[in-house]
Amino acid sequence: MTAPIAHVDIYAARRARLAAQLGEKGEAGVAIIPTAPERARNRDSDFAYRHDSYFYYLTGFTEPNAWLVLDASGRSTLFCQPKDLEREIWDGYRLGPDAAVAALGVSAALSVADLDTQLPKLLENQHTVWYPFATHKGLETRVDSWLNTVRGRVRFGAQCPAQQRDVCGPLDEMRLIKDAHEQEVMRRASAISAQAHVRAMQTSARRLRAGQEVREYHLDAELLHEFRQHGSQFPAYTSIVAAGANACVLHYRADAAPVRDGELVLIDAGCELDGYASDITRTFPANGKFTAPQRDLYNLVLASQEAAVAATKAGARFVDPHEATVNVLAQGLLDLGLLSKSKHGTAQDVIEKRAYFAFYMHRTSHWLGMDVHDCGSYVEPSELGQLSDRKDPLSGESIVNRPSRLLREGMVLTIEPGLYVRPAADVPEVFWNLGIRIEDDAIVTSQGCELITRAVPVHADEIEALMRA
Ligand code: GLY
Ligand code: MN
Ligand code: MN
């Protein structure tokens, strides 16, 4: 049996908010939102099923082969798998249309086998059809075929929708602000992930102290243990467990490399809990004790993160934490000699010429929510028309800038500065192959932000104390 759907009222309220946006200028509109397909991993074996985030946001329903159709009057129709004893023996319990109305609070529920006959009826006499663009392979073709059926009835007086719109637009704006329920789930997901990082750190030091071999996959196993032990359904993304120089590969996966005494380990891992992601990175000494150069570089990344955290509050721009990070990193790279003052000048020069990019080549933040890189525009919608030009100092390319998004209470973003030092003749050798990132998840509040991932420490002394324990 699947668990009963909790918080039916929350999903109903979201559907009502979306429905209110479907009719433009009083015209009728209808939205079609499928869940995700099942995907084969190899013969007879599927990838673990993960629902579509938009569909889940509006229904709380996690079965595959389901569709939501919602019209501007607020009427919702769910299409779901019919009850089928034989299939349920093989694949598991199905809610079925009869139980779905009460369980999900939708207006009506039908078998997904009836989709092609029912959709033209639901589209008839609507002005606009909304569906997610470019996210579900083949969806446009199916919508076209339903619309063609409606067109075939025009001579009998039916009206065919004249407009097609991307339903992700209004849904992205809704998902960008996390309500109290979402924030609570994200706090719980973060607490589990933080505990998993603690466990991996402690395992690394304990095994090395005991003279045991440690490989990246041993630490990955500790993360997974903790995620599943606390009810997380999956990792929210493929975990990065990168020992030594592997930390300089931004999209490295947990592999089989040995974790060596004296090296750093970078772990970027977070669990998904009840549909919501967490996303934490910690970098720690494999044996529990930072060397002096490791600590210097670590403290620089941490100082840049502290500056970014201080810049994260309602009313600030999305780009502000990134700019705060870069200001600190630029000065620190000069002070530690990774960039030479004689060649690169001042921190301002380093920023203007983007010289820091050799060591810090990604952005500081992304939205976080149901998807680890969550939906939502990074441009402020109320200032869309305000354009400015700049030339990229490295590529010379012209870039049109639009104003960065204003942060609002309830938005959730990561704050994840890093430095990645590859061997190079003009870089002090003590820093070669060090890759450091520190990533926390922040809920924007009126006065600042709430860091929901700090149950795993970030200060070097606290990490060392934890790893001694
Ligand atoms: N773990 C993915 C990211 O940090 O963006
Ligand atoms: Mn991230
Ligand atoms: Mn991450």
With a pLDDT cut of 90, the percent of the chain lying above it is: 95
Tokens of 42: 């190899």
Question: How far, in Å, is the centroid of ligand 1 from the Cα of 253?
Answer: 12
The model carries a pTM of: 0.96
The answer to whether 265 and 286 have CB atoms below 8 angstroms apart is yes
Determine whether the shortest distance from the Cβ of 363 to ligand 1 is under 6 A: no
Determine whether the shortest distance from the Cβ of 237 to ligand 1 is under 6 A: yes
Q: Can you give the residue ranges of every domain in the chain?
A: 8-175, 177-468
Question: How far, in Å, is the centroid of ligand 3 from the Cα of 390?
Answer: 29
Active-site residue set? 44, 251, 268, 279, 362, 366, 373, 416, 420, 437, 439
Tokens of 203: 């395992």
The answer to whether 156 and 55 have CB atoms below 8 angstroms apart is no
Tens digits of residue pLDDT in 377-393 = 999 999 988 999 989 99
Q: Which long-range contacts (CB under 8 A, 24 or more apart) does 343-351 make?
A: 343/426, 351/326, 351/327
Determine whether the shortest distance from the Cβ of 441 to ligand 1 is under 6 A: no
Determine whether the shortest distance from the Cβ of 268 to ligand 1 is under 6 A: yes
Tens digits of residue pLDDT in 81-108 = 999 999 999 999 999 999 999 999 999 9
Number of other CB atoms surrounding residue 457 within 10 Å: 18
Q: Which atom of ligand 1 is nearest to the CA of 268?
A: 1
Tens digits of residue pLDDT in 391-400 = 999 899 998 9
Which region among 2-11, 160-169, 249-258 has the lowest average model confidence (pLDDT)? Answer: 2-11
pLDDT of residue 406: 98
Neighbour-count burial of 83, counting CB atoms closer than 10 A to its CB (0-12 exposed, 13-18 middle, 19+ buried):
middle
pLDDT of residue 82: 98
Minimum CA distance residue for ligand 1 atom 4 = 279
CATH number given to 8-175: 3.40.350.10
Ligand (nearest to CA of 251): 1
Tens digits of residue pLDDT in 221-267 = 999 999 999 999 999 999 999 999 999 999 999 899 999 999 999 99
Q: Which atom of ligand 1 is nearest to the CA of 372?
A: 2
Residues in the chain: 469
pLDDT of residue 424: 97
Q: Which of 456, 458, 460, 450 is nearest to 195 (CA)?
A: 456
How high is the mean pLDDT of the chain? 96
Say whether pLDDT at 152 is over 90.
yes
Say whether pLDDT at 325 is over 80.
yes
Tokens of 14: 């979201």
pLDDT of residue 26: 79
With a pLDDT cut of 70, the percent of the chain lying above it is: 99
pLDDT of residue 6: 77
The answer to whether 79 and 119 have CB atoms below 8 angstroms apart is no
Question: How far, in Å, is the centroid of ligand 2 from the Cα of 291?
Answer: 26
Minimum CA distance residue for ligand 1 atom 3 = 279
pLDDT of residue 2: 54
The answer to whether 376 and 176 have CB atoms below 8 angstroms apart is yes
Q: What is the mean pLDDT of residues 398-405?
A: 93
Say whether pLDDT at 1 is over 70.
no
Determine whether the shortest distance from the Cβ of 279 to ligand 1 is under 6 A: yes
Tens digits of residue pLDDT in 349-369 = 999 999 999 999 999 999 999
pLDDT of residue 77: 98
Domain 177-468: homologous superfamily in CATH: Creatinase/methionine aminopeptidase superfamily (3.90.230.10)
Rounded-to-integer distance, Cα 310 and Cα 322, Å? 11
- Name residue, tokens 């078998």: 111
pLDDT of residue 3: 56
Tokens of 84: 């089928």
Q: Which atom of ligand 1 is nearest to the CA of 414?
A: 4
Rounded-to-integer distance, Cα 138 and Cα 134, Å? 9
Q: What is the mean pLDDT of residues 154-181?
A: 96
Determine whether the shortest distance from the Cβ of 250 to ligand 1 is under 6 A: no
Q: Which atom of ligand 1 is nearest to the CA of 237?
A: 1
pLDDT of residue 5: 72
